[in-house]
Amino acid sequence: MAETNNKDTSTLTADEIKLYDRQIRLWGLEAQTRMRHSRILVLNLTSIGVEVVKNLMLAGIGSLTLCDSSILTEEDLNGNFFVDASQVGQLKVDAAFDRIQDLNNRVKFSVLKESLPLGGKLSTSNTAVQANIDPETLKHYQNYDLVIATGLNRQQLSQLNQITRNLQIPLYASGGHGLYAYLFVDLINHESKIQLDSNSNSTKSKVGILNSVSEITNVEKTGKDEELKIVSTLKNSYRTIDEVFKSNKLSEFYKSEKKLRKITPVLPLILSLFDYSASDVAGKDQGLDPVVLKSKAEVIAKDLKLPESWKIDENVVGELARQAFCEFQPVSAIIGGALCQDVINALGQREIPINNFVVLDTVKNDMPIFTL
Amino acid sequence: MYVNKIALFTGVPLMESGTTGLKGQVQPIFPYKTECFACLPKATPKSFPVCTIRSTPSKPIHCITWAKNFLFPQLFGENDEEQHAANQQGVSDDSDNKDEVEALQKEANELLELKRLIQAAASKETNSTDAEFVHKILAKIFKEDIERLLRIETLWTTRAKPTPLQYTKDEYSNLKVSELSDQKPWDKQANLLQFSDSLIRLTNRLSSEPSIEFDKDDEDTLDFIVAAANLRSYVFGIEIKSKFDIKQIAGNIIPAVATTNAIMAGFSAVSSIHMFEGDQAIANSRMVYDSANGLKFVNSTKLDSPAHSCKACSIVRGIAKLPTNLKQVTLAQFRQALLEKYGYSDDIEISTSDSRLLYDYDFEDNLEKPLSQFVGFGDVLLISDSDEVLDHIELYLDGHDNDLAKGDEAKISLPELSIPAFRKKAVVEEEKEEGKQEDNADEQHRDNEDGVIVLDDEEEDEEEDDAIEIIDDDEVDIDKTKSGKY
Ligand SMILES: [Zn+2]
């Protein structure tokens, strides 16, 4: 994490070790201990938010604060197993509170029923200069170790990202559009200690720059011959969401024009959908105008330096335009599961977390990770 | 495996999915059109040569296997005679070293004596870790047996020699079992203490239990395995493991987490949409599995055609619908129906899935007997062509639906099958073997024929109120952890 939490040294109780036995075996005692000490803020109980909250409660984090000011509607019932039909009309967080807490009483679970301020106006400059953020706004966020936001539009996410950068807090953001979804990760700077095979000849076993976003800063070798253990420290640096929209990194990871041409149209299309928030299209059953969506995506494709030969697939445009603001629970389960798995990887510092944008296409069961 | 076969009988698509830790997969199966569950190779459990376990361990797992599969059943297991015989067999099969075989046989004989010591001690309760039999056992297993192995010099020409365990009774007298950590490996003294302490606990239990089996959740047995394995590791200069780690290895614990289960359950649900896309169903379906590649979160591939060598789907299967009262159908009628439907010659062979022959050209005794005498609904009959023109088929027997038109209920309705030309018999032989084990799963019900069977190895229940997912290792079917595609 960007800031190491000094309380991490206190250990888990025997009861906790027993309760979390299976997952400790998977990600280790250290990760479980760090998890127990993390305070996580989740913004919006969308369908993905529901999955995220469930996974984090089960994983055994220290405290979880859920912020949502919206009222539960009939449509929410499909994607939210914390509530039932009798609760329509209540505040979502009130309706879901008991069932969430019941998942794990060891987690300090609390809710915020009013939207948190995002402060200031959207910075229009392309540079990542910190906007002047009201100190009062920062106060709302400063007591968390991690922020997870779902269902935000571009402006909201951009503002939130400025806040989390200002406070040096890692940020995860996710949203779903029918059979498609995305995951954005900003860990600012992150270090993981990765174990390599003793016979590994990979570039990761030597100190040096791997690519424009990651480098090996340290290599420790212990033992020899068959017992040789190599632990490398891998440092990952991240970009803000504003930088993602202007990224020129695709050609670094997709080295030939042929590979670039094959990049899924879902990437620019889903980025185009950041312009809308769910409330913009509330009640519009038909979704969006595909022509408008396509032209937005073409602008983004240009910004991302996709080659001239890259062509957008009209079918995918149509599907995404139509499904733009549907929530589909299985899709939320996948992207919410991936999000939480990455949170655990980031906290555990043994696996390399995602850097930095995942696209999920469940029509093709395709889930590429882009470095933008 | 059972559900896979039922899918092959019914022709109903199957969505197979499962997870192991952070790994998982989802495989849509279209019977006979795409790879079935059995087409993909499965991981088999690791096994070690007997001699590595008994004489020349070099890894912690060897010592754990020795403690769990050899020492423990020898001391606390059921029938000593049987155990004994089994052990002798394994050794002589495996080793060319005559001296080694002799040493190991002697060792096993002496273990029988130790067992009698334990049984004698069990009759008079004792709580002292200083009891005489405890010392005898320690000395025998970790000192005398090792000294005997050391005398076989050929074993140690290329290996490091073990060191017989040296200890004194007072070494661990000031330690307490309750203060030992599960997470950190114990030192020699702690292992000695735990060995003695758990040995006493187990011995005392033998006064009321005829035998004790290892169970990872039975602390007495786990403590004994941990201490015994670690003491052996000391002797052989192998790394010492914590109780936490040994529990996982000895108990075959497969880690399970909510996130992987959610991801694979999600893919399973969205992938089933394709199953309803008619002609395009197979073309649009994709198998999903975890990815180690930094450019993808999961991998997915198109569905392959069935493997030619697959034991499950290289046989044509279908469901035969029979009158609800099986007494009304004779074997002769059933045979006649087969000949008419599939164009077999006279010369066919009908047998049950446990290889009992009901009819062939030279065996007509059963022809006038009702089917009910041999089989019931849910059973499988194998039909093969003795003229070797058509291939073998398997028919699953089911009763007619209740809403059948009057007059039809006495008929035998056989499924439409396209039976390929005769193939070699070997496939069928193996198939029979397998059938034996699976038939006891018969009470499992079959889903609605028009629906989709969704099979999930793990329980994925979104609303469960437990904070962790628990799979008992009894339920973990090693067959189901796929390795072929990773
Ligand atoms: Zn098959």
* pLDDT single digits (tens) A144-184: 999 999 989 999 999 999 999 999 999 999 999 999 999 99
Q: What is the CATH number of the domain that holds B100?
A: 1.10.10.520
CA distance A113 to A41: 13
Query: What's the pLDDT score for residue B434?
Result: 41
Q: Which residues of chain B are within 8 Å of residue A367 when distances are taken between CB atoms?
A: 296-298, 300
Buried b / exposed e over B244-261, threshold 16 CB at 10 Å, is bbbbbbbbebbbbbbbbb
Flag if B266 and A337 touch (Cβ within 8 Å): yes
pLDDT at A124 over 80: no
pLDDT at A221 over 50: yes
**In the structure encoding, which two tokens stand for residue B299, read together?**
């991998």
Q: Give the closest of A55, A106, A360 to B259, CB-based.
A: A55
Q: Are A305 and A251 in contact (CB under 8 A)?
A: yes
pLDDT tens-place string over residues A233-250: 999 999 999 999 999 999
Residue of chain B whose alpha carbon sits nearest to that of A351: B292
Q: Which of B92-96, B302-306, B394-398, B419-423 has the lowest mean pLDDT?
A: B92-96
Flag if B253 and A22 touch (Cβ within 8 Å): yes
Q: Are B54 and B66 in contact (CB under 8 A)?
A: yes
pLDDT tens-place string over residues A296-307: 999 999 999 999
Question: How much is the average pLDDT of A245-274?
Answer: 92
Q: Are A37 and A62 in contact (CB under 8 A)?
A: yes
Specify whether B224 is located in the same domain as B359.
Answer: no
Question: How much is the average pLDDT of B317-346?
Answer: 88
pLDDT at A110 over 80: yes
B288, β-bridge pairs = B26, B300
Specify whether B75 is located in the same domain as B176.
Answer: yes
Peptide bond into A356 cis (omega under 30): yes
Specify whether B118 is located in the same domain as B225.
Answer: yes
The overall average pLDDT reported for chain A is: 88
Range of the domain at B348: 316-426
Q: CA angle at residue A335 from A332 to A339, to 5 degrees?
A: 125
pLDDT tens-place string over residues A52-74: 999 999 999 999 999 999 999 99
Specify whether B122 is located in the same domain as B219.
Answer: yes
CA distance B449 to B279: 19
Specify whether B215 is located in the same domain as B337.
Answer: no
Query: What's the pLDDT score for residue A180?
Result: 96
**pLDDT band at residue B456, thresholds of 50, 70 and 90?**
very low
Per cent of chain B over pLDDT 70 is 78
Query: What's the pLDDT score for residue B44?
Result: 63
Distance from the Cα of A26 to chain B's closest Cα (Å) equals 6
**pLDDT band at residue B293, thresholds of 50, 70 and 90?**
confident
pLDDT tens-place string over residues A84-103: 999 999 999 999 999 999 99
Q: Cα of B32 to ligand 1 centre, how many Å?
A: 7
* HSE toward the beta carbon, residue B68, CA cutoff 13 A: 20
Q: Cα of B317 to ligand 1 centre, how many Å?
A: 12
* Residue B186 is assigned to a structural domain of this protein: yes
H or E segment to which residue A260 belongs: helix A257-261
Give the type of residue at B417. L
B42, β-bridge pairs = B482
Q: Which residues of chain A are within 8 Å of residue B261 when distances are taken between CB atoms?
A: 337
Query: What's the pLDDT score for residue A49?
Result: 96
- DSSP result, A320-342: HHHHTT---HHHHHHHHHHHHHH
Residue of chain B whose alpha carbon sits nearest to that of A103: B465
**pLDDT band at residue B404, thresholds of 50, 70 and 90?**
low
Per cent of chain A over pLDDT 70 is 89
Distance from the Cα of B311 to chain A's closest Cα (Å) equals 29
For an interface test with A, give the residue of B297, B456, B464, B476 to mutate (most A CBs within 10 A): B297
- DSSP result, A199-222: T--SGGGSSEEEETTEEEEEEEEE
* Largest separation between any pair of C-alpha atoms in chain A: 66
For an interface test with B, give the residue of A342, A361, A362 to mutate (most B CBs within 10 A): A362
In the β-sheet with A180-186, what is the strand arrangement from edge to edge?
A108-112, A63-67, A39-43, A146-150, A171-177, A180-186, A357-361, A369-370
Question: How much is the average pLDDT of A133-153?
Answer: 92
Query: What's the pLDDT score for residue B80?
Result: 56
Is B270's Cβ below 8 Å from some Cβ in A? yes
* Residue B179 is assigned to a structural domain of this protein: yes
Is B298's Cβ below 8 Å from some Cβ in A? yes
Specify whether B227 is located in the same domain as B119.
Answer: yes
Q: Which residues of chain A are within 8 Å of residue B25 when distances are taken between CB atoms?
A: none
In the β-sheet with A214-222, what is the strand arrangement from edge to edge?
A189-196, A229-237, A214-222, A208-211
pLDDT tens-place string over residues B350-374: 999 888 899 988 888 888 999 989 9
Query: What's the pLDDT score for residue A176?
Result: 93
Specify whether B88 is located in the same domain as B205.
Answer: yes
* Residue B15 is assigned to a structural domain of this protein: no
Per-domain residue ranges of chain A: 14-188+329-370, 189-237, 247-323
Q: Give the closest of B21, B258, B267 to A55, CB-based.
A: B258
* Residue B207 is assigned to a structural domain of this protein: yes
Question: How much is the average pLDDT of B160-170?
Answer: 85
Closest CA to B81 of B108, B101, B121, B50: B108
Flag if B297 and A330 touch (Cβ within 8 Å): no
**pLDDT band at residue B84, thresholds of 50, 70 and 90?**
low
Flag if B295 and A369 touch (Cβ within 8 Å): yes
Q: Give the closest of A19, A358, A368 to B467, CB-based.
A: A19
Q: What is the CATH number of the domain that holds B331?
A: 3.10.290.20
Distance from the Cα of A13 to chain B's closest Cα (Å) equals 12
Provide the CA B429 distance to its chain's centre, in angstroms. 21
Domain count, chain B: 2
Specify whether B78 is located in the same domain as B218.
Answer: yes
Q: CA angle at residue B273 from B269 to B274, to 5 degrees?
A: 125
Query: What's the pLDDT score for residue A277?
Result: 67
H or E segment to which residue A42 belongs: strand A39-43
Q: Cα of B320 to ligand 1 centre, how many Å?
A: 21
Specify whether B73 is located in the same domain as B217.
Answer: yes
Q: Please tell me whether residue A195 adopts helix, strand or coil conformation.
A: strand
Burial, A246: exposed, middle or buried (Cβ in 10 Å; 0-12, 13-18, 19+)?
Answer: middle
Specify whether B321 is located in the same domain as B231.
Answer: no
Burial, A122: exposed, middle or buried (Cβ in 10 Å; 0-12, 13-18, 19+)?
Answer: middle
Phi, psi for residue B220 in degrees, rounded to 5: -60, -45
Which CATH fold topology does A14-188+329-370 show? Rossmann fold (3.40.50)
Question: How much is the average pLDDT of B335-360?
Answer: 88
Flag if A253 and B269 touch (Cβ within 8 Å): no
Closest CA to B103 of B135, B64, B111: B111
Q: Cα of B280 to ligand 1 centre, how many Å?
A: 21
The overall average pLDDT reported for chain B is: 79
Query: What's the pLDDT score for residue A244?
Result: 96
**In the structure encoding, which two tokens stand for residue B274, read together?**
């394709």
Place of tokens 């996580």: A40
CA distance B218 to B250: 12
Residue that terminates a domain, selected from B394, B426, B458 = B426
Antiparallel, parallel or unpaired: β B298-302 and B23-29: unpaired
**CB within 5 A of ion ligand 1: which residues?**
B 36, 38-39, 306, 310, 312-313
The CA R_g of chain B, rounded to the nearest whole Å, is: 29
pLDDT tens-place string over residues B2-52: 888 888 888 889 999 888 888 899 999 998 889 988 888 766 666 778 888
Residue that terminates a domain, selected from B176, B202, B237 = B237
| Residue A367 CB coordination number (10 Å) | 24
Q: Which residues of chain A are within 8 Å of residue B485 when distances are taken between CB atoms?
A: none
Flag if B257 and A26 touch (Cβ within 8 Å): yes
pLDDT at B469 over 70: no
**In the structure encoding, which two tokens stand for residue B22, read together?**
């952070």
Query: What's the pLDDT score for residue B473?
Result: 34
Q: Please tell me whether residue B461 adopts helix, strand or coil conformation.
A: coil
Phi, psi for residue B196 in degrees, rounded to 5: -65, -45
**pLDDT band at residue B402, thresholds of 50, 70 and 90?**
low
Q: Which residues of chain B are within 8 Å of residue A51 when distances are taken between CB atoms?
A: 262
Distance from the Cα of B259 to chain A's closest Cα (Å) equals 4
What pTM was estimated for this model as a whole? 0.78
Residues of B with a known catalytic role = 51
Closest CA to A252 of A217, A296, A218, A214: A214
Q: Which of B222-236, B270-284, B326-340, B461-475 has the lowest mean pLDDT?
A: B461-475
pLDDT at B443 over 80: no
Q: Residues near A302 by Cβ (< 8 Å), separated by ≥ 6?
A: none
**In the structure encoding, which two tokens stand for residue B302, read together?**
């198109």
